[in-house]
Chains A and B, each alone.
Chain A
Amino acid sequence: MLLLDDPATIVDGVGALGSRIMADSEADLAERFEAEVIPLLDTLYAGALRMARNPDDASDLVQETVERAFKGFKSFTPGTNLRAWLFRIMTNAYINTYRKKQRQPQQSSADDVEDWQMHKAASHTSSGLRSAEVEALDRLPDSDVTRALSSIGEDYRLAVYYADVEGFAYKEIAEIMGTPVGTVMSRLHRGRKQLRELLEDYAAERGLVPESGEGS
């Protein structure tokens, strides 16, 4: 319909023209998909590693995400958050396919506890000791941080990953994980609290912090 003035187009006939437009738009879609998704491949892989926790499964998960994403790409609204959309697809793919296959024990999540109350226990440490801990946490090797992140419960780990690494808003995380915002907040509280405890333990094991027990 764009080219009606062009005699060659009219001669082509409607059938040929129709199928050519179809093929063009399909190719255009694939091209746009490639241009937008390939730059996110590292991000998707890092996210997949937080779910699958081994490189082979993470790679398979990324591939499956890309396949599913292309099938749904026509319904993706350009200009909205592609990264969040892809992570939602990946989260679903992971839950439906990979979590069933993986037989690693998963920590169950009780999301209904008032987590901020548990936060208090750690707050009793004196601020002097705390600044020593801040320095210690800064000196931990990256491998300790990765280990701590992979040790916490899956729902907590993903909530922390989406908030602290990907920087998604709580509302976006809720959509990605298919939960209410309150659940996201609860998972973040618990996840970050567990993370802090683990990292403080690692720092103590490495002798990076002064002896505890002398706090207020």
Chain B
Amino acid sequence: MNAGGCADPQGCEDADRHLYEYQHHELTPEVHRRIEEHLVVCAHCQALYREEEVIQRRVAQCACESAPEPLRARVVALIATFRTSGR
């Protein structure tokens, strides 16, 4: 924290502590805005946040496997039994 000699060390502390909640839009509007403003002025926290943004994007992109065709067929057949059997 505050490795770059930032003029707003409390901002560094908050950004560090709430970085993921900030990223996931889970903070109150006031805290969110405070961190947003800090990220504009602090190159260090900004760089850290950019890295976390890349990680989130990469994770979201890598986890998009399609259901294999045999599974799809099994599920469709299974639902067909729900329809006819009346359970």
A residues within 8 Å of B by Cβ? 22-23, 26-27, 29-31, 33-34, 37-38, 41-42, 44-46, 49-50, 55, 59, 62-63, 66-67, 70-71, 116, 119-120, 123-127, 130-131, 133-134, 137-138, 140, 142, 145-146, 149, 160-161, 163-165, 169-170, 185, 188-189, 192, 195-196, 199, 215-216
Contact = CB atoms under 8 A, between A and B. Distances in A.
A62 B3 contact: no
Nearest to B44: A127
Most A CB atoms within 10 A — which of B48, B67, B78?
A: B67
Given A66-B78, A130-B47, A145-B58, A189 B20 contact: yes
B58 A123 contact: no
B79 A146 contact: no
Chain B interface size, under 10 / 10 to 19 / 20 to 34 / 35 or more: 35 or more
Interface in B41-86: 43-44, 46-48, 50-52, 54-56, 58-68, 70-72, 74-76, 78-79, 82-83, 86
Contact of B75 (A63, A125, A185, A188): A63
A69 B78 CA distance: 12
A85 B40 CA distance: 38
